[in-house]
Amino acid sequence: MDNFLFFAMASLAETCYEAKENRNIENSLPWGKDVDSKQQSLLRKLPGVDRVLELWDRAQPVKDVPRTVLVRSIRTTLDRLRIKVLADNELLDETMFAENRLLRLAVQSVNKSLEFKLRHVINATGVVVHTNLGRSLLSEGVARHVAEILCRYSNLEFDLEKGERGSRYSCVEEILCEISGVEAAMVVNNNAGAVFLSLETLAKAKEVIVSRGELVEIGGSFRIPDVMASSGAKLVEVGTTNRTHLSDYEGAIRDETALLLKVHTSNYSMVGFTAEVPLNDLVTLGAKYHLPVMKDLGSGNFVDFSKYGLMKEPTVQETVATGADVVTFSGDKMLGGPQAGIIVGRKDALERIKKNPINRALRIDKMTLAALEATLHLYRDESKAVSAIPTLRMLTLPLKVISNRANRLRSRLRKLGNDLLEAVVINASSRVGGGALPLQELPTKCVGVRVKGLSASRIERIVREADPPIIGRIENDLFVMDMRTVQDDEIAVIASIFKKEV
Ligand SMILES: *Cc1c(COP(=O)(O)O)cnc(C)c1O
């Protein structure tokens, strides 16, 4: 589809949405309607790009706008007006093309296009590892280290002792071994890459045995059968959806078998009449048949969260202690580091994985390495990790602290002096997110806002379009902000957005 058409459809949809929201004039939408003569004469009066450029150059409402940006923004502005005419014929006249109005719209469009598209948003959803909102936050110390490495040359692939070429992964391998108690480690772009690379290396053109209960889809199109297929390994399903036994695995082993795989079921959970084979038993079975065993942990964690009142998840250390040959996990789920896929395990398996030429296509950048190394350093002292790594801090945040934040925001909102705005503190429950601990309820405090004359969905939209955007949710006709994931310094920002925009 060409760009203009795409744009026209997108803004048409937007215009319709606005129209519906604001005035409920569904009947005047342009679907299937001919352009009438009034619309035609209005469209003829719409100035061209050159005309608006002239106006701009005379008024210079924003200085130093790159010409390409300016022309595109003006074109966008005129396209929007054209669509408005087509959508909205009853209510419009040519005052909509008044010069000052055109300029104002062009300024808006220019400013919008000069903004960064990837920017800070306030996560008021209470989902700690929120995949759509950037998953894990780095601690400031880690971010400082990254900035330092990025703005200078570094020994990324240089061995300072030997004075010769070194390995890019050496900065994280030793500390990964130290923390998880493994012989060898390796990192790639993300855990999907880690699983793919491990399967490609260990089982290409061979068979991999997996329980039917673990053939999961994680979201974002990561599905175990599909990753398996693209790695060239052949999936051999055993057991049933709810129950798989050791004998199922053993019965499927034959000459073509290359690997026994266990997958963390991540964002779903089975209850009732279920049975799965513990990793320990699978490792014993693997040893009996000289087959490597791999576990995809998904969201790996070095900290036992059950100590902090959360549900038990096996840690990376506990998982490798079973003797599994390869264990893979994400750097940016419960670990709270940068996006990365971490592969740890036995030396022989890891040697093969490291030698796979596909590695090069999955290799991580120095930004990630610097962030990962600095995050891993924090794990040498668990209490430091829990307080300094934002993901861990938010997951273990005492209710008292959240409650205090909620009260602060509520009183700030009440002090705005907006009689139409009502703010209340409500009990709710936050989510871990990131496909981890799907059943975990984290008691939390939210601030709910109601504004006379505005629907909750209208409030949601207004603050989502603010700067910075606030992302919350709607519950029982209240706009609700979960204070677990709102950072302390964002409370004042939220209050000022409500003051300005609502
Ligand atoms: C999240 C997840 C993945 C994918 O990890 P990314 O780091 O998002 O690529 C793979 N396997 C499991 C079990 C997961 O939970």
DSSP per-residue codes, 340-363: -EEEEE-HHHHHHHHH-TTHHHHP
CA distances from 212 to 221, 225, 266, 365, 433 (A): 18, 10, 15, 36, 24
3 state SS of 447: strand
For residue 36, give both structure tokens.
Answer: 């009438």
Phi and psi, residue 45, nearest 5°: -85, -10
Largest CA distance in the chain: 84
Q: Is there a contact between 188 and 359 (Cβ–Cβ < 8 Å)?
A: yes
For ligand 1, atom 11, name the residue with the nearest CA.
298
For residue 78, give both structure tokens.
Answer: 């005129």
Q: What share of residues in the chain are helix, strand, coil (percent, to 5)?
A: 50, 20, 35
What the chain holds in terms of domains, given with CATH numbers, is 2-114 (no CATH), 169-388 (3.40.640.10), 399-501 (3.90.1150.110)
> Which of 221, 222, 265 for a ligand 1 pocket mutation test, highest count of atoms within 8 Å of Cβ?
222
Residue 132 Cα to ligand 1 middle (Å): 14
Residue 289 Cα to ligand 1 middle (Å): 28
Q: Is there a contact between 138 and 331 (Cβ–Cβ < 8 Å)?
A: no
The answer to whether the CB of 300 is under 6 A from ligand 1 is: no
Q: What is the pLDDT along the chain (502 residues), one digit of tens a residue?
A: 344 444 444 444 444 444 443 333 334 445 555 778 888 888 999 999 999 999 999 999 999 999 999 999 999 999 999 998 888 667 788 888 999 999 999 999 999 999 999 999 999 999 999 999 999 999 999 999 999 999 999 999 999 999 999 999 999 999 999 999 999 999 999 999 999 999 999 999 999 999 999 999 987 789 999 999 999 999 999 999 999 999 999 999 999 999 999 999 988 888 999 999 999 999 999 999 999 999 999 999 999 999 999 999 999 999 999 999 999 999 999 999 999 999 999 999 999 999 999 999 999 999 999 999 999 999 999 999 999 999 999 999 999 999 999 999 999 999 998 999 999 999 999 999 988 888 899 999 999 999 999 999 999 999 999 999 999 999 999 999 999 999 999 999 999 999 999 8
CA dihedral 421, 423, 428, 431 (to 10 degrees): 70
The answer to whether the CB of 264 is under 6 A from ligand 1 is: yes
For ligand 1, atom 3, name the residue with the nearest CA.
298
From the list 252, 365, 246, 386, the residue with the least C-alpha distance to 307 is 386
Distance of CA 103 to the CA centre of its chain: 37
DSSP 481: E
Residue 496, CA atoms < 13 Å, CB-side half-sphere: 7
